[in-house]
Amino acid sequence: MAKIYFSILLTFLFIAPYKNIAQELPNNSFENWTNQGSYSDPDEWTTPNPQLSAMGVITVTQSNEAQSGNSSISLESKSFFGALIPGAATLGDITLDLFTQTAEITGGIPYTERPARLKGYFKYAPASADTFAILAIFYKYNTGSGATDTVGIGVFRSGSIISDWTEFSAIINWYSDATPDSTNVLMFSSDYSQSTNAGSVLLVDNLEYDFSTGETESPAINQEISVYPNPANDYITFHRNYEASSSDKLELYDLTGKMMLQTTMDCANQRVNVSALPEGLYFYKLKANQTVLHSGKIIISR
């Protein structure tokens, strides 16, 4: 079965004026909904409902099952003329094209803090071997390049059957010490990067950014590290002007926040083989236990 493919544009579009400017996530408990006739949408959130409702398809609804309060958000993956449409909700904007079976998510809300994680509560009833995804993305406009950089991503995925309200935690991986200027939260009843099945239902309630973490940052030591070549082909060299430790580890993430590589970095001058990774943009962290020694971006190009 074909699937509507959701892509996340890393070029941030300027915030639409109707979005709330606040540090707390708007309508994070999904108590407030607006009836649009054939469907209802959660206030301050965007879903595919406006475009799909004309064809009799609704993928996001208000549920009276709540972790607290009176309601939560329900996202359900549905089939439409051979295409599978994941239930989706975002603080940004969704552009859906059923003809090409693609969708784009852009935008978000203003936000200027660096939380440790996105947390909340969920229930999940997957169809077959499906998986859901909840993402938090942080952006910063780069005045030098005139483009918007992604400075942090947190992702939580699960395919387990969860019948009781359960807390999830999406750890934010920060790839820069910059203060973000905006954020977006995205939820999918079927993970946009995996195979999907009609009928999967995800319930989410009480989202919030949390600032408690065991991981600390050490940005000063960044000056003692060089990474080359960048763009890279099959190998990347990490050169450190200090004594390496057997506890040093490299973590490499793709644009969705999925860890693609983890290796020990116990040499001051160490080559890392990335030949098995596809071309594209990656984020890395060099860590000693829970301290981030260095973070940044690399491009793999062949």
Domain boundaries, the chain: 2-210, 216-300
Rg (CA), the chain: 20
Euclidean distance between CA atoms 49 and 36, whole angstroms: 10
Token digits of residue 165: 């309200």
Q: Which CATH architecture has domain 2-210?
A: Sandwich (2.60)
Concatenate the DSSP letters of all residues of 198-246 into one string: TT-EEEEEEEEEE---S-EE-GGGGGGEEEE-SSBSSEEEEEESS---T
Q: Which of 272, 296, 266 is nearest to 173 (CA)?
A: 296
Domain at 216-300: CATH code: 2.60.40.3580
Q: Phi and psi for 226 in degrees, rounded to 5?
A: -130, 145
Per-residue pLDDT of the chain (302 residues; tens, 9 = 90+): 444 545 444 333 333 333 433 468 999 999 999 999 999 999 999 999 999 998 899 999 999 999 999 999 999 999 877 778 889 999 999 987 767 777 788 899 999 999 989 999 999 999 988 889 999 999 999 888 888 888 999 888 888 999 999 999 898 888 878 899 999 999 999 875 555 568 999 999 999 999 875 555 554 445 478 899 999 999 999 988 877 788 889 999 887 677 899 999 988 899 999 999 998 888 888 888 777 778 788 889 98
Euclidean distance between CA atoms 95 and 97, whole angstroms: 7
Q: Whole-prediction pTM value? A: 0.73
Q: Which of 259, 52, 152, 68 is nearest to 60 (CA)?
A: 52
